[in-house]
Amino acid sequence: MASTAPWFRVSRFYEVVDPTKGIIRCLICERKCVLPKSIHGFCYNHINIDGRLYDISYGLLSALEPRPIEIKPLFHYYPNSVALTFSGWGCNFRCPWCQNYFLSFSKPKPELSIKLSPAELVSIAKKLKLHGLCASFNEPTIHADYLVDLGEEAKGSGLYLTMVTNGYMTTSTLKEFLRVGYTGFSIDIKGCPETYKRFFGADPLIVYRNAKYILDNNGHVEIVYLVVPKANDSQECIDWVINKHLEYLGEDVPLHINRYYPAHKYYEPPTSIKLLLDIYEKARKAGIKYVYVGNIGDEAYEATRCPRCGKLLILRRNYRVVKWNLTRDNRCPRCGEKINIYGKPILNSNRTSK
Ligand code: SF4
């Protein structure tokens, strides 16, 4: 098969399984697709061409826009900053309730893509005077080759590097992300083992393994739990998520409990607010210090309070920080409690967020 398109690149992330037949294994995510010649992987972004793994969507972006970091959500990472947010096509999961299914369940579409090299992406972010780069909307992991090159390109630029991910990359891919400078990770936990088995044929402990690895290597993690009726909202599932959060990540890692709305092929009504608030109370009582409820339009549940004395520290509105009440070294001004904040807040910025 010819490999002439400029968005075809030989990947760094594969191994040869059978040299005589040219069978290879992709090592980007934990699906570890085994690919005979001319066969593409689960995410549609990689194909075996003559015994080598090709990324066939290198630099094909499906969306590009500056977005506030709070919308990711990342509430404790460079607060109030704005990142140049970009996406590609495809995903290594198939969530039936996916809000971005038109991107995530699509094969790469060169004819509809914005074509940008890593250097061009960095240059745009600098020209717009943004604070960072964020891979989001579809699953970033499957664009590992592009993201690693982007990290190399962004070195010395002053831009932070972050991603919104399902956390299902291999350890070797994650090591590369960390090596080139990705520091902020908004990671979805989609439920308990039963949820992962039923909908994805996957294992949620891999997600916690990766989140812990990031923390152990000085990165920043926030966990997002979209509570989907009849998929991951049983009491057993809720307890499992809270327990694993504390066991693997600890009490300082923020937990965002988000409301689901019907989308794509999933038609259950939106998550009940009462259930979301019950989970919020349960997580706090269990010891998680920073718990938020998203997608309900109530800023009281998007505010940060001191986990020790209860003082209001950060108030957010429309994904922007409207009140910042921490000392310069990120402590509660009333009781001195150290608050988990990664990176400098961007305060007194006149930039409009969207
Ligand atoms: S990145 Fe794509 S091709 Fe590679 S293992 Fe994951 S799903 Fe399969």
pTM: 0.96
**Those residues with Cβ within 8 angstroms of residue 298's Cβ, 6 or more apart along the chain or in another chain:** none
Nearest atom of ligand 1 to the alpha carbon of 144: 1
Cβ of 47 less than 6 Å from ligand 1 = no
Ligand 1 atom nearest 25 alpha carbon:
5
The pLDDT, as a whole number, for residue 280 is 98
Specify the pLDDT at position 349: 57
CATH 3.40.50.970 at 60-324, yes or no: no
End-to-end CA distance of the chain: 43
Contact 83, 132 (CB under 8 A): yes
Give yes or no for residue 159 CB within 6 A of ligand 1.
Answer: no
Q: What is the DSSP string of 78-137?
A: STT-EEEEEE-S--S---TT-TTHHHHTS---GGG-EE--HHHHHHHHHHTT-SEEEE-S
Q: For residue 348, what pLDDT is reported?
A: 72
Expressed in angstroms and rounded, the spacing between residue 28 Cα and the centre of ligand 1 is 6
Distance CA(352)–CA(354), nearest Å, equals 6
Taking the CA atoms of residue 233, residue 225, residue 282 and residue 250 in that order, the dihedral angle to the nearest 10 degrees is: 140
| 142 CA to centre of ligand 1 in angstroms | 6
- On whether the CB atoms of residues 114 and 61 are closer than 8 A, the answer is yes
**Successive 10-residue mean pLDDT values, the chain, 354 residues:** 81 98 98 98 97 98 98 98 98 96 95 98 98 98 98 98 98 98 98 97 98 98 98 98 98 98 96 98 98 97 98 97 97 98 85 40
Domain with CATH 3.20.20.70 in the chain: 60-324
92 lines ligand 1 (CB under 6 A): yes
| Atom of ligand 1 minimally distant from the CA of 27 | 5
